[in-house]
Structure 1
Amino acid sequence: MDRPKLVASDVDGTLLDPLEKVTPRTAGVVARVVASGTPFVLVTGRPPRWVPPVARAAGLTGYAVCANGATVYDIGAEEILSVRGLSPMQLHDVTHALRKLLPDIRVAAERTAVGPVSAAGVPAAFATEPGFRNPWGNPRDAPEGGMDGENNEVPTAEVLGHPATKLLIRHHELSSDELADAAGSVLNGARLEITFSTNRGLIELSAAGVTKATGLSEVCERLDVPASRVVAFGDMPNDVEMLRWAGHGVAMANAHHDVLATADEITAPNSEDGLAQVLERWF
């Protein structure tokens, strides 16, 4: 493609190296992208509160698409611009249906509200029922404990009792592929998005039609950039729709097989600055 008018990148396994760092080479090319006036958008499964450490490391202050497309976040303004979530009734019905097939699942909910990220009156941003364990723990540089860790355990009714951007479902004996297949068989017709960004027995459910592609499309509308002029990078199934939507979709060599099959191009792994290797063509 011609020099892109917007760069979109997944975070974990793509922008970050295996040590969860932005390497000097990648930081350098991101700086050149930004200096050229080309927006560089983070598109991640992470909630907004887990984005600032990555944005600081990459030197970014623009937009981030969070929670697999459910939230658009203005990094510099520290403001949530839009949210598309699940209702308490949906959360309850999905959990009840899945427990009939998989009694041992544990659930958690991510919550975000439009407005300043520090706004009062919003329920705890992350709530888990007893026994849920986040495979990531706390991301580096995030506050320990409380709603940023695995320790905000509340009764199941409290987890499911507020609108959420994502419902996270964990099973300690199944892979994420296996868990997603099981959930799909139970929730067929429920019009929910089922995806995952790790294969360690965790899947993430979003409202119907909510994907990284829809969140990125909203950002591109704000910036008046057509999909055909977007280059997007990713590595896991929650990136598939984004790579299909973008004018040029790039999979990391370390990507899930579904992503490799979808991409227009496969670059080097995140351990070898695969993202930088592609962007250096233009910047």
Structure 2
Amino acid sequence: MFNHDETVSPRTRAAVHAAVADGAQFVIATGRPPRWIRPVVEELGFAPMAVCANGAVIYDPSTDTVVSARTLSVDTLAQLAEIATRVIPGAGLAVERIGERAHDTASPQFVSSPGYEHAWLNPDNTEVSVEDLLSAPAIKLLIRKAGATSADMAAELAGHIGTEGDLTYSTNNGLIEIVPRGISKATGVREVADPLGIPDAAVVAFGDMPNDVPMLLWAGRGVAMANAHPAALAAADEVTAPNSEDGVARVLERWWR
């Protein structure tokens, strides 16, 4: 939906607004935490429900309320941290925590181990000891190794994680994300859709990276962007234009203009 410059084009915005005006439910499904949702809402021009942290959090930006959250326990975090640092020597660790709102000032929400190199620009992490980092439940664990590829890291870790959590990634820039076992964007969107009586078959989902794969497979119609990761392309029912060429709008305009 976003262009490469993190904006929503007028055409895509108009298509989304037309769908919502006709009664469709629009849901943001993202790997981003709630505190990163405000710019998305501003670009869209309204505040739909948001499935955040790859399904671990359901957030209502219209009221700045965390509706529900699934977390990795302290014991599970310790197991995953041991596995990550053993299998990928030199990897840094970080965790996302959650409060009742997008910005909970009671404690830092994104904490990282000493020397953690952020995969994104404008990092907002708080550096703490590894002991402190693993001392509270978290909605996801991030494993970062600068200079590595996320695909290679995922391949190395896949056989070691077991039942402790589910791993995925949304960039190939040496960053792996682990969420509670069985949690994905698909479970998050279903959690929003079920109370509204929306069947799985009526869901149209858009995605472009491995963290979108469960949602693309589950939705009645999974749509991958033309520039998507091969795993997303393989999981989709159809492929639309790239995100920079209004791929989302081109699909929505079949029904709404």
TM range (shorter): over 0.9
Q: Please give the residue correspondences for 1:126-137 in structure 2 after superposition, counting only pairs within 5 Å.
A: 126-137=110-121
* Residue from 34, 38, 41 that aligns with 1:52: 38
Structure number with the bigger relative contact order (C-alpha 8 A, sep ≥ 6) is 1
Structure 2 residue identity aligned to 1:72: I
* Residue from 156, 160, 175 that aligns with 1:182: 156
* Residue from 38, 43, 52 that aligns with 1:66: 52
Q: CA shift at 1:34, angstroms?
A: 1.6
Asked if structure 1 preserves the Cα contact closer than 8 Å seen for 2:51 and 2:185, the reply is yes
Number of the residue aligned with 2:207:
234
Structure 2 residue identity aligned to 1:193: D
Asked if structure 1 preserves the Cα contact closer than 8 Å seen for 2:83 and 2:160, the reply is yes
Number of the residue aligned with 1:92:
78
Gap runs ≥5 in structure 1: 1-14, 139-148
Asked if structure 2 preserves the Cα contact closer than 8 Å seen for 1:40 and 1:60, the reply is no
Amino-acid identity (%): 46
Call closer, same or farther: CA 1:191–1:89 in 2, change over 3 Å.
closer
| TM-score normalised by structure 1 residue count | 0.87
Number of the residue aligned with 2:245:
272
Q: CA shift at 1:226, angstroms?
A: 0.6
Q: CA shift at 1:120, angstroms?
A: 5.5
**Residue 209 of structure 1 pairs with residue 195 of structure 2:** no
Following the alignment from structure 2 to structure 1, what is the Cα–Cα distance between the partners of residues 125 and 186? 31
| Superposed structure 1 runs of 4+ greater than 2 Å apart | 115-121
Number of the residue aligned with 2:137:
163
Pairs aligned (count): 256
Asked if structure 2 preserves the Cα contact closer than 8 Å seen for 1:133 and 1:170, the reply is yes
Q: CA shift at 1:125, angstroms?
A: 0.9
Gap runs ≥5 in structure 2: none
* Deviation readout 1:162-207 (Å, 9 max, x if unpaired): 11001000012320000001111222x2341000000000000011
Q: CA shift at 1:88, angstroms?
A: 1.3
Asked if structure 2 preserves the Cα contact closer than 8 Å seen for 1:133 and 1:150, the reply is no
Following the alignment from structure 1 to structure 2, what is the Cα–Cα distance between the partners of residues 127 and 119? 13
> What SS is found at the alignment partner of 1:25?
helix
